[in-house]
Chain A
């Protein structure tokens, strides 16, 4: 895959930081506004798609495939671990909500101001799912751009 001109590369690098920040914002405010882990993760993965298109073969050494794979696995493991922590009542029980601890402030019924320190385990799960989705889609793009199909595939 050929790389593009210097103008495109610099523009991609300039646009990259605001786009990743927007993705992180969507993930962090998943329990207050429309959006969440999946959507924010896809936005971050699309930022890396922009990077791959602009830089072509040079982008091969920008991201570590093994590190992304480990981060994805750890995020999914963390999700299951967080779900298992609520087992005193049930699997996936929201044990942090209304508890007063981290993310534990309670919310009155109706349309009021939204505080980020609410919703219990939901923001933590949003962060983990966002990490998992962004790493997964980035790995898929990285492999499909740079690697060859195995000779032994399908045997």
Chain B
């Protein structure tokens, strides 16, 4: 059993080191089409000086809607849990 654990750790470490060696150098991603589109057009298309805000609320607004809905569901759960005793 102990030998199996050691072998598992060695295999896991091998894959981790292989992934670390295969990483691309910082600042040179494989695909840059999306970033360049946002940097060039986001300021003019959404008329917003903050490109992060234009992505969060315009290009990926559905994601923000999901986050707000998650918060709403959390509050609903807390209200349900702390609703007190049942009136007689």
Q: Which chain A residues have a beta carbon within 8 Å of chain B's beta carbons?
A: 30-34, 36, 38, 69, 72-73, 76, 79-80, 83, 91-92, 94, 97-98, 104-110, 112, 114, 118-122, 125-126, 129, 132-133, 136, 139-140, 143-144, 147-153
Contacts and interface: CB of A to CB of B under 8 A. Distances in A.
Contacts, number: 128
Contacts of B44: 106-109
Contact of A31 (B53, B72, B85): B53
Interface of B: 40, 43-50, 52-54, 56-58, 61-62, 64-65, 67-69, 71-72, 74-75, 78-86
A143 B79 contact: yes
A38 B57 CA distance: 11
B contact patch SS: helix
B83 to A, nearest CB: 5
A69 B82 contact: no
Contacts of B85: 148, 150-151
Given A30-B50, A118-B49, A107 B43 contact: yes
Contact of B49 (A31, A83, A150): A31
B81 A150 contact: yes
Nearest to A135: B75
B71 A133 contact: yes
A118 B78 contact: no
B47 A120 contact: yes
B75 A139 contact: yes
B79 A107 contact: no
